[in-house]
Every structure is written in C-alpha cells, then in structure tokens.
Structure 1
Amino acid sequence: MSPAREPETAPPPQPPDHGGREVLASDDIRRALKRIAHEILEGNKGHADLVLLGIPTRGVPLAHRLAEAVEAVEGTTVPVGSLDITMYRDDLRTQPTRAPEPMSVPRGGIDGKVVVLVDDVLYSGRTVRAALDSLADLGRPSAVRLAVLVDRGHRELPIRADYVGKNLPTSRAERVMVRLQDLDGVEGVWIA
C-alpha cells in the first residue's frame, strides 16, 4: 500500500512579474480603505448627501469598497457611480484612439451633494482635472473631495487629495502598479 498523497491545490496567484517591490498587500489595502471611509464620514459629519464616484478603471471597484466600509460603520448605503473622463483628457490629440469608459451616475444626481472622487493613484493631477471637468457637466455638487489609494507626488497641476491610503514618494522613472482582485486576479500595490 502506497502512502496517501496530499490533494493538490492550486498555487496562490502571483504578483505581476515586474521586478518591483510590494508596498501594500491585500490586508494593507483593506485597512487603508477602512481608514479612508472613517475619515470621509468624520469630515462629512456622517453619510448625509454623500456620493462616491470612481474614476475608471481601478477607482470604480475602490469606490464600491469604500461604500461597503461606510455601510459597515453607518448601517446605510451610500450611492456609488463611475465617471467617464475620456473626452475631457488633455492628451486626446496624442492618443486619439481612447474608447469612452462606462459611466453611471447614481439616481438623484449630484446637485447639492458632497461628491468624493475615488482613484487608485494620484500622480500629475491631470486625471483629476479631467474628472472635475466631467463632473461640471453633470451638475453642481455642494463640495467635491478626492480619495486615492496611493499619492505618489509629482503634481503638474495644483491638485491634492483629501483622503490618502498611502503617500509613496517616487521618482518619475518609477512605476506604481495597483492590482485589485476584482479586475486582475491578484491584489496589492507594487513599485518598479
């Protein structure tokens, strides 16, 4: 009789092979989003008139996760949507083949609401500028805030995040890669 074999299990998903180092693991991302949710609620004095709008691609699942964290604290759902910034980008002349991103604005719109824009990485500020232009076409919120998972610096426009998961000083030559389980099958933040 041969010895019993252990059942084979699939190896866990591996991080992207980019030669980089991991700066946030899955648990770190979860903790950062939970903290940001608390900060948003504290700054807004609760969930009233709050709307979360994710900037595609990875800002959308992050906005949904923030909404879940807010619901865990407040016991009520916060409207979540996504914002199409494609036609507002300032690089369309150099990259005219961009396809529009899906957009979904929560029922009730954004007029008079506190809108929190959610993105994965804040770098030059140009994506946020495009998001603000897109938002202006949708209505007039009472306030607009910005929540990002990573702020890597190197701003080209006078834009700053109100809520930051991790400040990550980088050089312009480095790349910051955010991977989320929902989209990429692996979760973490790497710098290469």
Structure 2
Amino acid sequence: MNLPDIETTCTELSERLVTYLAEQQIDRPLLVGIRTGGVWVADRLQEKLQTEDGVSSLDISFYRDDFTRHGLHPQVKGSELPDSIEDRHIILVDDVVMSGRTIRAAMNELFDYGRPASITLVCLLDIGRRELPIQPDLCGAALTLSEGQLVKLTGPQPLTLTLA
C-alpha cells in the first residue's frame, strides 16, 4: 500500500481549509490540535493560516471512554486553551480519525471549557472504521487498511507516516 506524502497532504489540506473558512465566513478561528499527532498537523496548518491565537492543544486522556480499561497514558501533559472558547469557531485537528471515539472525547472536553459557536473537524487521514457517527469536515486522505493494520504518525520534524 502506498501511503500519501505527508507534506503534500498537509499543504493541500491547509489550502482547502482556507477556502472552507472563507466560504463559511469564519474569521478568527481557534486552531485546536489533539495531542500529539493532531498538534503536529495543526502546527503545519497554522503555517498557512497564521491564526491570531496560534495552536491550542487538548490532551483527552481523562475524557477517553476506555480510561478505566487501559489506565492513564504516562505522557499526559494537560490541555492548553485560551481562557474562553465561548462563541469561538473551533477548528479541531487530529492526525487520524478511525472509530470516532477520540473526537467524541475531545468535544466533551471542549464543552467543559465553554460553548463554541461551531466545531470544524479536520484530520490528516481517515481510516473509516467508525464506531460512532462522527465524520471529518475536511480530510487530507482516506485509507482502506486490512484488518489489524494501523498507521502511525511520528514527528514533529519531519512528519512521517508508517504502516504497522
């Protein structure tokens, strides 16, 4: 299986996001990456968007629905968001969307900080093994993997995609 070129995919995704924001008449969006891969992708998008607030981050460790089953990941760093996200247009960024559970956890955490005006979901890759009815608004590439296959994003410099 050929994996997409990450730099090209990030560039194309950022261009599509600029167009999307203009069409939706969204100004001053808040770019929020889900740790860690989503933050790396959000940093690449920020290079093009140059948003006023830079890149914020979410660590959803405490919001996962499998927290009691798997315990706490040893690299919990906490979330970094502005004091208020009330009525802000959020661009939620993740590296890979698969089951939808990570995105659900991220939205739960965001709503604990306030009620955003909107949330636009942007992901680098869509694996499409949904367990929840959550779809990205913008996606860099969609992959169909064999059972048991996973993709892993490493980075941040350079961003590299590997198949496991």
Q: TM-score range by the shorter chain?
A: 0.7 to 0.9
**Residues 155, 169 of structure 1: alpha-carbon distance in 2 compared, 3 angstrom cutoff:** same
Choose 1 or 2 for highest CA Rg: 1
Match of 2:21 in 1: 41
Question: What residue ranges of structure 1 are gaps of 5+ in the alignment?
Answer: 1-20
User: Bigger shift: 154-163 or 34-43?
Assistant: 34-43
Residue 93 of structure 1: SS of its match in structure 2? helix
Whether 1:187 aligns to 2:159 is yes
CA distance in 1, matches of 2:71, 2:156: 30
Whether 1:170 aligns to 2:149 is no
Question: What residue ranges of structure 2 are gaps of 5+ in the alignment?
Answer: none
CA distance in 2, matches of 1:23, 1:118: 20
Whether 1:101 aligns to 2:81 is no
Structure 1 residue 113: Cα displacement = 0.7
Percent identity between the two aligned chains = 34
Whether 1:138 aligns to 2:118 is no
| Per-residue Cα deviation, 1:151-178 (whole angstroms, up to 9, x for no partner) | 0101000100001000112233211122
Q: 1:53 aligns with which of 32, 51, 62?
A: 32
The 5 Å alignment of 1:1-192 reads 21-46=1-26, 48-71=27-50, 77-99=52-74, 100-106=76-82, 109-182=84-157, 186-192=158-164
| Per-residue Cα deviation, 1:85-141 (whole angstroms, up to 9, x for no partner) | 11110111111132433311135x210011111000000000001001101100000
CA distance in 2, matches of 1:187, 1:54: 15
Q: Output the aligned Cα RMSD.
A: 2.0
Q: What is the total number of aligned residue pairs between the two structures? A: 163
With normalisation by structure 2, the TM-score equals: 0.87
With normalisation by structure 1, the TM-score equals: 0.76
**Residues 83, 112 of structure 1: alpha-carbon distance in 2 compared, 3 angstrom cutoff:** same
**Residues 139, 155 of structure 1: alpha-carbon distance in 2 compared, 3 angstrom cutoff:** same
Structure 1 residue 57: Cα displacement = 0.8
